[in-house]
Structure 1
Amino acid sequence: MEELKKGMSLKAGFVYVGPIEDFGWTMAHDRGRMKVAEKYDWLETVYAEIVPEPEVSDYIDEMFEKGCDVVFTCSFGYGWDTVKAGERWPDKILYHCSGDPTVHGSAPNVGFYFSDFYQLYYLNGLAAGALTKTNKLGYVAAYTTSEVVRHLDAFFLGAKEVNPDVEMKVLVTGSWVDPATDTLNAEALIAWGADVIGFTADAPAVISKCQDHYEETGEKIYTFSHYSCMKEFGPDVVVSGQLVNWEKWYEYLLLKAQQGEAENWQHWGLATGGYVELGSDFGEPINPIFTEDLKAVTVTDPVLGTIGVYDLIMYRYEQFKDERSTFEPFTGPIRDTEGNLRLKSGEVIDGYQLWWEMDWYPEGTIPPE
């Protein structure tokens, strides 16, 4: 990175797959961008939104041609084109949000970062297992990438810990940003009998459907915020959620870039360090209207004894925030939907499998067709 001089001013570009007002994934990234830009007077930022994956190379080139020193590509499908751009622009820095083990380290000026929610999905699964009346959970998945499967598996494992009788049906949208299909999938899951729905999607369509159903019928379909605060779309049905603080990565990586440094490896952020946050809103781990309901349901934990689910959620959350804790939701025995023993009793999942090879579902899941 010969053109980057230590202590220089920087111009950073951000390429987004969705609109900045999607109230989810892209809004969260743009919130992080703005927070860092407001903090440092040496930093100028620009962005492009609603960029189709096949066109990302053109946007990267245009940003560098217009003076950007660093470009962040903020979607899973941008990965390989980001690496190829690093080869075309050896004196610039690129970071891809998500990563792929097949491309790690392939260019000295291309790095990878992600803030992962699987721990928070497990916590929200505890709530789901406690609140369901039908013992049927639904999940709307954008795709079945390792990331998404990791999240929905963790959600279901949490639910089963509290309520062994639950089952979960998964429907796939086939897009990160498709509110219409998200809504149709939520409707189908409600018709099937689900009274709790988790999701991986970049917009709050699932939450809006759950709130609409409650207002029309009086029946609550519990759900959870994802990436950004979505409580305003479902004040009566949003229990908690998975929230992200992307500014943690943007500040760290841009400060490195200002010193002329690129870190060409995978960076992971979890609850430790505050990269992700449990909450129906920032600073609100559980929607207060559900606190008493969660406290009323008790479970027997082998270590903690009899404990209310609300307190169990908060205890586990503190464990996840403590880097010394060894608690892991993916600890055996765990069987998959085919009855195969994936993790024997006491066995903790291998990190590589957890991050990159999640293609199986715990027993009790109805996988997507």
Structure 2
Amino acid sequence: MLRLRPTLAALAAGAGLMFAVLPVAQAADPLKVAFVYLGPIGDGGWTFQHDQGRLAIEKEFGSKIKVTYVENVPETADAERVIRQLAVDGNQLIFTTSFGYMDATAKVAKAFPKVHFEHATGYKTGPNMATYQTRFYEGAYLLGVVAGKMTKSNTLGFVGSFPIPEVVRNLNAYTLGAQSVNPKIKTKVIWVNTWYDPGKERQAAETLVAQGADMLAQNTDSPAVVQVAQEKGVYAFGWDTDMAKYGPKAHLTANTENWGVYYSQEVKRELAGTWKSGATLWGIKENLVTLSALNPSVPADVAKLFAEKKKAIVDGTLMPFGGPLKDNAGITKVVAGSVLPIGEMMSFNWLVQGVEGSLPK
């Protein structure tokens, strides 16, 4: 409210003057939002793309929000420490952006019931903890379509991070997409047991090329795989972000995420007081999964098929995990006319026919 200096107030009272007491508009405190990142924001992949989402909401909401991020947080006890400190610091909406943060996020969420937490790619929820992930396998399937049409060796390569359901799902979809246009396809996979290690990713890619793979995909975070493809004269696909600048001749397209659309929705809900827990699973239809522009070297008939398959996924007439499906031991997992249930899809622990090897224990 309007405050007068004591001397002026006394004079006013003595003179019998009346002053209207006017309210002074107070700007609302900005919503404090925080992000926890596994890698550096310049990794060129997963963390970079999440950070693009952060930048998008900063631009959209301006002074209504105050955003903090912490990068290079390992999936260890350090994660719990960082998440807890962000809650202590007064952040009201905290996004933890890697699978290995799940338990730490759940633990801190219980200790701070008035703070809202959102965990990427996990499955644990609570009254103040939501999960969000993408139907990234839709994009992986489309990468496979291009690979299946353009391969000369009929051998695809895949650099895998960890053999968790999220990654297995993408590997299987990539293979199935390729087999949908080329039944001769087989996929070789090398597990590097890390999300971001350019050296290990490079070594794995080089090994796959030596084993005859002329199409490389990945579920890791650096552009090393694309760089190897460029050097070796084979093709590759960007992952999480457009990696064309790292291999302009090799890079055919990229399976990327537009995290900004999701982060914008959640900030709006938080500002409006309508935030709620739950599990979000968005894909191409919701514009969370996006495919970058095709390389001009992609033949016109392949580009046309790619567009048709993409439209069919959006329309719901193409289900990447529709039957018949067999595992790589030849056992039928999904019969013709059926689709793999979402629960089983989210807990994938087997490899489709055509993927060589077995899942590490």
TM-score of the aligned structures, taking structure 1 as reference length: 0.87
Residue of 349, 352, 358 corresponding to 2:348:
358
1:15 aligned residue: 36
1:260 aligned residue: 273
Q: Partners in 1 of 2:68 and 2:154 — Cα distance?
A: 47
Instruction: Tell me if 1:346 matches 2:337.
Output: yes
**Displaced runs of 4+ in structure 1, greater than 4 A?**
none
Matches within 5 A, 1:268-283: 268-279=281-292
Matches within 5 A, 1:225-244: 225-244=238-257
2:25 aligned residue: none
Q: Is the 8 A contact 2:217 2:237 kept in 1?
A: yes
2:10 aligned residue: none
1:32-66 CA-partner distances (Å, limit 9, x unpaired): 00110111120110100000111111111221222
Q: Partners in 1 of 2:160 and 2:333 — Cα distance?
A: 22
Please state how far the C-alpha of 1:259 moved relative to its aligned partner: 2.1
Question: How well do the aligned residues superpose, as a CA RMSD in angstroms?
Answer: 1.3
2:297 aligned residue: 289
Q: Is the 8 A contact 1:117 1:276 kept in 2?
A: yes
SS at match of 2:306: helix
Please state how far the C-alpha of 1:319 moved relative to its aligned partner: 2.2
1:99-127 CA-partner distances (Å, limit 9, x unpaired): 21xx23xx211111112311111111011
1:113 aligned residue: 132
Q: Is the 8 A contact 2:242 2:253 kept in 1?
A: no
Structure 1: which 5+ runs fail to align?
1-6, 215-220, 296-308
Question: What amino acid maps onto 1:317 in structure 2?
Answer: K
Identity of counterpart residues, as a percentage? Answer: 32
Q: Is the 8 A contact 1:138 1:197 kept in 2?
A: yes
Instruction: Tell me if 1:28 matches 2:41.
Output: no
Please state how far the C-alpha of 1:8 moved relative to its aligned partner: 5.8
Q: Is the 8 A contact 2:325 2:334 kept in 1?
A: yes
Q: Is the 8 A contact 1:333 1:341 kept in 2?
A: yes
Q: Is the 8 A contact 2:226 2:247 kept in 1?
A: yes
Q: Is the 8 A contact 1:110 1:262 kept in 2?
A: no
Q: Is the 8 A contact 1:115 1:246 kept in 2?
A: no
Q: Is the 8 A contact 1:8 1:258 kept in 2?
A: no
SS at match of 1:130: helix
Question: What amino acid maps onto 1:314 in structure 2?
Answer: A
Residue of 65, 69, 74 corresponding to 1:52:
74
Residue of 228, 234, 259 corresponding to 1:246:
259
Q: Partners in 1 of 2:218 and 2:109 — Cα distance?
A: 33
Q: Partners in 1 of 2:296 and 2:109 — Cα distance?
A: 47
1:88 aligned residue: 111
Structure 2: which 5+ runs fail to align?
1-27
Q: Is the 8 A contact 1:72 1:95 kept in 2?
A: yes
Q: Partners in 1 of 2:357 and 2:270 — Cα distance?
A: 43
Residue of 197, 201, 212 corresponding to 1:182:
201
SS at match of 1:46: strand
SS at match of 1:208: helix
The structure with the larger Rg is 2
Question: What amino acid maps onto 2:256 in structure 1?
Answer: L
Please state how far the C-alpha of 1:194 moved relative to its aligned partner: 0.6
Residue of 94, 101, 123 corresponding to 1:78:
101
1:172-196 CA-partner distances (Å, limit 9, x unpaired): 0101111111111111111111101
2:221 aligned residue: 202
Question: What amino acid maps onto 2:354 in structure 1?
Answer: G
Please state how far the C-alpha of 1:288 moved relative to its aligned partner: 1.6
What is the aligned length?
330
1:300-328 CA-partner distances (Å, limit 9, x unpaired): xxxxxxxxx32221011122233xx2320
